[in-house]
Chain A
Amino acid sequence: MPSHRMPRSLVALSASAVAAVYLAGYVRTRPADTSIGAAVAVPTTPANTPVAVTTAVPTPTFAPATKQGTTYKDGTFTGQGTSRRGDVWVSVQIQAGRIATVTITRSTLQYPLRDIANLPSQVVQRQSAQVDVVSRATYSSQAFSGAVAQALANAQAS
């Protein structure tokens, strides 16, 4: 044995760290918008789009709003999409009949959400649930697209 020094216990250190942080309390300084999402203004220049994106693959029939002229009721609508690797919940805000913002509110996906970080802004740009399937994140894309489609279906229902 090169060293007989007893290692410091990281378990003990972590336990006291947790206790100290908990006691200090958390400060609610987060701005009102706590969720993930993209408003119309999000800059997504294709040049620095970080995830590999394949060419657009049509999503199944549930994508309702690819045509011009589809109008939605104003308001905020939610939808849930499923995949074999978990579900995604979104909140879609309709203003003046158009998709204004798309926000991922919940996820049980097994994959990091950054894989589909560009998809909310795509929905806003295209005014459609038909997003590109993100390479290496097909399940996440599928769940996201399904969630948007459901929210848009709710926005259409009279």
Chain B
Amino acid sequence: MRKRAEQHTWVSVAMDTGITIQVIADQPREAIEPVVERALGWFETVERVCTRFDPASEVMRLVGRTGVPVRVSQLLFEVAAFALDLAEQTDGAFDPTIGATLEQRGFNTNYRTGESLHTPVDTESASFRDVSLDRRAHTILLRQPVILDFNAVAKGLAIDLAARALGAYPDVCVEAGGDVYVRGHNAAGETWHVGIQHPRAEGVIARTLVLTDAAVCTSGDYERVGSNGETHIVDARMRGSPESDLVSVTVVAPTAMAADGLSTAAMVLGSARGVRLLESQGVGGVLIAADGAQLTVNL
């Protein structure tokens, strides 16, 4: 007889957020723990490479080497390649070079130390077109001193890497700051239920998605507010809060990296172009407008 599967839960902290990993298995917790530790290790690795809150991180060290192609790790290269592709496909509505703008808008606190950062770079003129990659040489070249912000894709990547590290387990849920990847079934043996937080009513679920083997990431204007009250969603073309008619975008995709990036991009683009982007990429989405109206794509 098959032993009854149990739900094991681990919580941790990385990338400025809490992380929860659930594994449903008929093994004791101690047997699963080393694998979970490896999964959690990915969050630390991605954070260490991609954080703009540490002047010594790999991404921040690029700023000091403007004008020179710098050979980078596989991780940083892939994150940059994905972010630049997303930038190109949205004509720069999504743009990873907004790091300095975010810093000036008050998103400048290292959550581990409480220290605030003030990196001396010009925020106005640069765009993603000032960054070039060379896949063969594995280099990144900044033509202007820009601060790259990979927040919109790095957490998704970390979730995907963690889920992959847990590949031996068929029933898994990896959640980081509201972004989630689910595989298999929940502890009740059902398909996973993922709720979308109502963007204007705290604690209210706007919609519940029933799905599996998928990532669900939400970008909203309500989640993160800087010390001067502005949101973390920035339309790079205006270097300000976007004139988007949306208050939240949830994307369902096979990877959290794609769901994370596309939800942020659609949030900036607004409903009409956002829906087109999600449709053209073949992913699912729930877009919620300021008046509460929900638009659904491929779900």
Q: Which residues of A contact B (CB under 8 A)?
A: 7-11, 13-15, 17-18, 20-22, 24, 26-30, 34-38, 42-44, 48-52, 86, 89, 104-110, 112-114, 117-118, 120-121, 136
A13 and B81 contact, CB distance less than 8 A = yes
A19 and chain B: residue at smallest CB distance: B164
CB distance from B33 to the nearest CB of A (A): 14
A11: contacting residue among B41, B89, B253, CB under 8 A: B253
Question: Roughly how many angstroms separate A120 CA and B110 CA in the complex, as a whole number?
Answer: 13
A-B contacts, CB under 8 A, total: 143
A51 and chain B: residue at smallest CB distance: B227
B17: contacting residue among A44, A48, A112, CB under 8 A: A112
Given contacts A14-B255, A105-B13, contact A22 B116 (CB under 8 A): no
Interface string of B210-233 (1 = CB under 8 A from A): 000000000000001101000000
B11 and A21 contact, CB distance less than 8 A = no
CB distance from A5 to the nearest CB of B (A): 10
A86 and B281 contact, CB distance less than 8 A = no
CB distance from B152 to the nearest CB of A (A): 12
Question: Roughly how many angstroms separate A8 CA and B262 CA in the complex, as a whole number?
Answer: 13
Question: Roughly how many angstroms separate A6 CA and B190 CA in the complex, as a whole number?
Answer: 37
B16 and A112 contact, CB distance less than 8 A = yes
Question: Roughly how many angstroms separate A14 CA and B95 CA in the complex, as a whole number?
Answer: 17
Query: What A residues does B108 contact at CB under 8 A?
Result: 50
Q: Does B85 contact A (CB under 8 A)?
A: yes
Q: Which residues of B contact A (CB under 8 A)?
A: 11-13, 16-18, 20, 41-42, 44-45, 48, 73-75, 78-79, 81-82, 85-86, 89, 106, 108-116, 156-157, 160-161, 164-165, 177-178, 224-225, 227, 253-255, 257-258, 261-262, 280-283
A36: contacting residue among B13, B82, B283, CB under 8 A: B13
Question: Roughly how many angstroms separate A24 CA and B42 CA in the complex, as a whole number?
Answer: 12
B114 and A42 contact, CB distance less than 8 A = yes
A8 and chain B: residue at smallest CB distance: B85
Q: A24-B75, A107-B11 are in contact. List 15 more A-B contacts (CB 8 A).
A: A7-B89, A8-B85, A13-B85, A14-B156, A14-B253, A14-B258, A26-B41, A35-B13, A42-B114, A50-B106, A50-B114, A51-B109, A106-B12, A117-B110, A117-B112
A8: contacting residue among B89, B177, B283, CB under 8 A: B89
A115 and chain B: residue at smallest CB distance: B111
A117 and B164 contact, CB distance less than 8 A = no
Query: What A residues does B156 contact at CB under 8 A?
Result: 14
Question: Roughly how many angstroms separate A8 CA and B73 CA in the complex, as a whole number?
Answer: 24
CB distance from B241 to the nearest CB of A (A): 17
CB distance from B75 to the nearest CB of A (A): 5
Query: What B residues does A22 contact at CB under 8 A?
Result: 161, 164-165
A114: contacting residue among B16, B74, B85, CB under 8 A: B16
Question: Roughly how many angstroms separate A59 CA and B85 CA in the complex, as a whole number?
Answer: 49
CB distance from B172 to the nearest CB of A (A): 15
Query: What A residues does B12 contact at CB under 8 A?
Result: 106
CB distance from B96 to the nearest CB of A (A): 14
B161 and A14 contact, CB distance less than 8 A = no
Query: What B residues does A113 contact at CB under 8 A?
Result: 13, 16-18, 111
B74: contacting residue among A20, A37, A109, A120, CB under 8 A: A20
Given contacts A30-B48, A106-B13, contact A7 B280 (CB under 8 A): yes
A17 and B89 contact, CB distance less than 8 A = no
Query: What A residues does B225 contact at CB under 8 A?
Result: 136
Question: Roughly how many angstroms separate A110 CA and B13 CA in the complex, as a whole number?
Answer: 12
Query: What B residues does A89 contact at CB under 8 A?
Result: 11
CB distance from A140 to the nearest CB of B (A): 10
CB distance from A53 to the nearest CB of B (A): 10
Question: Roughly how many angstroms separate A49 CA and B108 CA in the complex, as a whole number?
Answer: 11
- Which of B111, B156, B165, B282 is most buried by chain A, counting CB atoms within 10 A of its CB? B111
CB distance from B202 to the nearest CB of A (A): 9
